[in-house]
């Protein structure tokens, strides 16, 4: 999942975009203008920037140029504008944008562009194999009482959907499980590229773990495939 900054001075659009992308499983911050963005960058890392062009203070074009000069090809930039002139699109791409979208924008298209940028920024890598002998940190999944316990003995209670998801990962230790297989286990239709329900489920589960266990679960997203439990997991 990507770390995203939405720089948009229209409050409702900014809030809608932040909420939608968070539901898709991304980590998102919203900023009203460029000064707020650069203040935030002093404290956190961002992978993909979504920039409105007409912003208070510096325009999205200026911000994009600064970001590209500072971070080069390690980030992605998506520009939003109510203007559909080809000259604006050309300027946006010339200053470093990966994509230029015209408002009103379909949020699913924004998320699709983020996915494409993610694939460019993070090429698919084979998931490291889990060595049961060398790995001493063991997680425990109990399908009877619906709990997942970390190596320190702390547990979280799973919902029905979370239990089904973890069961799929536990049945394939160290191997990725496809989104299609997960959705089928959840009793839903087959996966298509616009369906982010599995990603949203993982995001909610990770948020719960961070609040209750003060740590992230060792669940890895495998590009083009699905998810895997990247630590030793036992069923008891």
**What domains can be seen in the chain, in order of their start residue?**
3-121 (3.40.50.2300), 138-235 (1.10.10.10)
How does pLDDT run across 10-42, given as a tens digit for each residue? 999 999 999 999 988 899 999 999 999 999 998
Q: Residue 193 pLDDT > 70, yes or no?
A: no
Sign of CA dihedral 226, 199, 194, 221: negative
Per DSSP (E only), the strands in 2-161 are 3-7, 27-31, 48-52, 76-81, 99-102, 138-142, 147-149, 155-157
pTM of the model: 0.57
Cis upstream peptide for 74 (omega within 30°): no
Q: How many helices (H) and strands (E) does the chain have?
A: 8, 12
Whole-angstrom Cα Rg for the chain:
20
Q: pLDDT per residue over 127-142, tens digit each?
A: 445 444 434 578 999 9
Q: For the chain, give the mean pLDDT.
A: 86
Contact between residue 139 and residue 116 where contact means Cβ atoms under 8 Å apart: no
């Amino acid at each position: 999942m990507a770390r995203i900054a939405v720089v948009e001075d229209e409050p409702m659009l900014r809030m809608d975009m932040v909420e939608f992308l968070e539901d898709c499983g991304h980590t998102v911050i919203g900023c009203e203008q460029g000064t707020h963005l650069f203040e935030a960058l002093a404290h956190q890392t961002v992978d993909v920037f979504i920039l409105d062009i007409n912003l208070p203070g510096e325009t999205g074009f200026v911000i994009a140029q600064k970001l590209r000069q500072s971070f080069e090809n390690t980030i992605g930039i998506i520009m939003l504008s109510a203007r559909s002139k080809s000259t604006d699109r050309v300027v946006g791409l010339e200053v470093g944008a990966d994509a230029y979208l015209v408002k009103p924008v379909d949020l699913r298209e924004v998320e699709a562009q983020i996915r494409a940028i993610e694939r460019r920024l993070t090429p698919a890598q084979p998931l490291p194999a889990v060595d049961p002998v060398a790995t001493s940190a063991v997680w425990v999944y109990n399908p009877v009482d619906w709990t997942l316990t970390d190596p320190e003995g702390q547990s979280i209670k799973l919902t029905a959907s979370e239990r089904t998801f973890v069961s799929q990962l536990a049945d394939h230790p160290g191997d990725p499980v496809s989104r299609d297989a997960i959705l089928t286990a959840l009793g839903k239709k087959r996966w298509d590229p616009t369906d982010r329900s599995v990603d949203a489920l993982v995001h909610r589960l990770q948020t719960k773990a961070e609040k209750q266990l003060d740590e992230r679960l060792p669940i890895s997203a495998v590009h083009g495939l699905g998810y895997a439990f990247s630590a030793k997991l036992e069923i008891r």
